[in-house]
């Protein structure tokens, strides 16, 4: 089944809520068991639920007060695309970090993510001056 525009928005909301709450169960439920997560377009992807859960666990150690907001999204067949902004407090330095990015989520037939890619730009409070 392919998501429509509203379904794509709901998937993005679930993604944001799982990240903000560092909810590992909700996080891996978004992805197929063999999913690829490309945080860096030039690096190797994380592959599978164990790697995805470990990634979120590490984020819970280095981030707090996460906010995630989708600016705009599109759905084209089995792909959700979105421009977004996020912020968090880096631990233990307590620096405020702002991110702006673009993501693609390629979906399997059950509407779970099989391939995720993102491109981001970040700024810390110390960069703003």
Residue 17 pLDDT = 97
CATH 3.30.930.10 fits 5-127, yes or no: no
pLDDT of 129 higher than 60: no
pTM of the complete model? 0.92
The pLDDT tens digits of the residues spanning 24-60 come to 999 999 999 999 999 988 889 999 999 999 999 999 9
Nearby residues of 14 by Cβ (< 8 Å), 6 or more positions away? 26, 30
- pLDDT at position 76 is 95
């Amino acid at each position: 089944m392919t998501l429509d525009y509203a379904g794509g928005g709901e998937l993005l909301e679930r993604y944001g809520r799982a990240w903000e709450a560092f909810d590992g169960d909700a996080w891996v439920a978004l992805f197929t068991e063999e999913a690829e997560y490309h945080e860096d377009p030039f690096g190797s992807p994380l592959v599978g639920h164990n790697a995805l859960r470990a990634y979120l666990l590490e984020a819970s150690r280095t981030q707090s007060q996460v906010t995630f907001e989708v600016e705009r999204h599109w759905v084209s067949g089995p792909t959700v695309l979105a421009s977004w902004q996020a912020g968090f407090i880096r631990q233990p330095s307590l620096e405020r970090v702002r991110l702006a990015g673009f993501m693609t989520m390629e979906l399997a037939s059950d509407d779970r993510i099989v391939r995720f890619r993102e491109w981001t730009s970040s700024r810390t409070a110390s960069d703003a001056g």
